[in-house]
Structure 1
Amino acid sequence: MADVAETQTVTEKGSAEQYVPIEQISPNPEQPRKRFDPEDLNDLANSIREKGVIQPLIVRRREDGSFEIVAGERRWRASQMAQLHQLPVIIREFTDVEVLEVAIIENIQRADLNSVEEAAGYRQLMDRFGHTQEKMAEALGKSRSHIANLLRLLNLPETVLEMVRKGDLSAGHARTLVTADDPLKLANQIIAGGLSVRAAEALVKKAQAGDAETPVRKVRSSAEEKDADTRALEGDLSANLGLKVTLNHKPGQEAGQMVLTYKTMEELDEICRLLSAH
């Protein structure tokens, strides 16, 4: 009853540290981080048994009076293992967008997210809350190209993404597979051979060259010779416009072409609207 009484004294502003029963706290279902290393959790649980939870969790109050974790799920999990009955928290008023932003920022600053989880967090901000890559880059202190490169990883098959989540494949290796015809096959070869990123790039180019038998394949092969900046810009424009964007830049010149590909008349109407708006 003492624990409950303490939670009832919490103010809505919630700037001060309070203690609440651990059973009244639950994780944010939209938390980008999905994997928690069991060994790390066990080490943290041992530390908590000896010294307690030094840094309060950041939570927000739900309509039913319980609390949702905004930052500190790892401490909450370890505290359960340590069999704590109550936890120090700071209650804040956050919108859904702010909760996701804080969760991503906290994990990125602590380098806790793997590349796929980080990319999924960015995708959530874009799809659910309408954030642009520019806005995310500014808010999170990341370059736009960094965000664009991570988002492209989500185009890979789930099996390959799981390799990245487990740490079997680095993000750098995975990026080389985004344009591959059979990324899973190449990913297995990269892991089996212990290839460097440079060697992985060579493997992908070799695989693509091996398929270049028809004129269609040859056109695609030459497109793959675009530099990384051009491919990154194509990805940025495609993501922002919701259309396939192809940049054909003439080597050694400043001139080139930008091709917008539409599949329906509605998409054509949207292109016309965007162009006429400027």
Structure 2
Amino acid sequence: MATKKNHGLGTGLDAFFSNNPIQDLNEGSEGVTEISVKDIRPNPYQPREVFDPDKLKELADSISESGVFQPIIVKKGVNGYELIAGERRLRASKLAGKKEIPAIVRDYTDEQVLEITVLENLQRENLSPIEEGQAFVTLIKKLNLTQDEVAKKVGKSRPYITNYIRLLQLPTAVKTMVEKGKISNAQARALLKLQDPAEIEKFAKKVVSEGLTVRQIEKLIEEKQDTKKVKKEIKEPTPFVRTTRSSLEDLLDTKVKIQQSSRGKGKIEIAFASEDDLARIMELLHVEEN
């Protein structure tokens, strides 16, 4: 049987091991044994957190009818076995009521198990953006790698790795939206320009309800930040400014607003109800019409 394609993940698993476990599995280079599903512990490095229940049910139905065609890969543990690859097949087999599952037993170190698990999932391209970002973080923390080194391992650019890791900064509610496909990767990155988690979540809901594009999101955020910048430049009125405003309001018998920036400059706004009212104010200010 032909080896599965790497889907552009650079060196992939071949870069780490003399034998590619996925290739060996497909080519049947090792003996397959039946193992009790009760003796198999979950893989602690599994990056996938969400398994489509409908697709899992379809696979379970297929297994009930025809059995498991592709063995899972396990590692011998102190008590039983530890799953390395084949999480969906194991879950579907349990769902189908199977007591045993065909497996290939491999002798791998914990580091190799981690690399195989993460990279196999990345190669299959079935992770959500959040899961993919977490997978990169796992490689960085557990194997003490830099982002550049991870990029080389998975055959991606450094910015690609950085962008996916940045998604993990999103509030939990927004990460859930990304995982469910309500917000795209690009839309989520645009939201990260906001620093306040509450604002990010508020904007995210707006994105979903109004179907905003990335450009529209960026424009709204830019306008919001410009407004904040203007407000920040306007300082609180000094006692002199407050007294002056009060005096003007008494003199003109209307609302007066005085704004002063942090640079010392400012402006005065005088409210009027009509042209006649404006003429009255001009007369009080001794301003003659041309």
Residue by residue over 1:245-276, the C-alpha shift from the partner in whole angstroms, topping out at 9 and shown as x without a partner, is xxxxxxxxxxxxxxxxxxxxxxxxxxxxxxxx
Question: Aligned partners of 2:118 and 2:219: how far apart in 1?
Answer: 33
Question: Aligned partners of 1:102 and 1:184: how far apart in 2?
Answer: 35
For the aligned residue pairs, the C-alpha RMSD in angstroms reads: 1.9
Partner of 2:102: 88
Q: Does 1:138 align with 2:160?
A: no
Residue by residue over 1:178-212, the C-alpha shift from the partner in whole angstroms, topping out at 9 and shown as x without a partner, is 12132111111111111222222222222222222
**Given the superposition, is the C-alpha separation of residues 84 and 156 from structure 1 closer, same or farther in structure 2, using an over 3 Å criterion?**
same
3-state DSSP class of the match of 1:153?
A: helix
Q: Does 1:50 align with 2:61?
A: no
Q: Give yes or no for contact 1:97–1:125 (8 Å, CA) kept in 2.
A: no
Residue by residue over 1:64-120, the C-alpha shift from the partner in whole angstroms, topping out at 9 and shown as x without a partner, is 2x1111111011000011111211111222222322222222222222110111111
Q: Give yes or no for contact 2:151–2:157 (8 Å, CA) kept in 1.
A: yes
Partner of 1:233: none
3-state DSSP class of the match of 1:191?
A: helix
- For 2:215, give the aligned amino acid: R
Residue by residue over 1:206-235, the C-alpha shift from the partner in whole angstroms, topping out at 9 and shown as x without a partner, is 222222225689xxxxxxxxxxxxxxxxxx
> What is the count of residue pairs matched by the alignment?
203
Q: Percent identity?
A: 39
Q: Give yes or no for contact 2:45–2:118 (8 Å, CA) kept in 1.
A: no
Structure 1 residue corresponding to 2:170, chosen from 156, 168, 181 = 156
TM-score of the aligned structures, taking structure 1 as reference length: 0.68
Residue by residue over 1:96-154, the C-alpha shift from the partner in whole angstroms, topping out at 9 and shown as x without a partner, is 23222222222222221101111111112212321111221121122221111111111
3-state DSSP class of the match of 2:229?
A: coil
TM-score of the aligned structures, taking structure 2 as reference length: 0.66
Partner of 2:223: 206
- For 1:80, give the aligned amino acid: K
Q: Give yes or no for contact 1:116–1:165 (8 Å, CA) kept in 2.
A: yes
Give structure 1 stretches of 5+ with no counterpart: 1-13, 218-278
Give structure 2 stretches of 5+ with no counterpart: 1-28, 235-290
Partner of 2:139: 125
Q: Summarize the alignment of residues 1-278 of structure 1 with structure 2, pairs less than 5 Å apart.
A: 15-64=30-79, 66-181=80-195, 182-213=199-230
Q: Give yes or no for contact 2:60–2:93 (8 Å, CA) kept in 1.
A: yes
Partner of 1:252: none
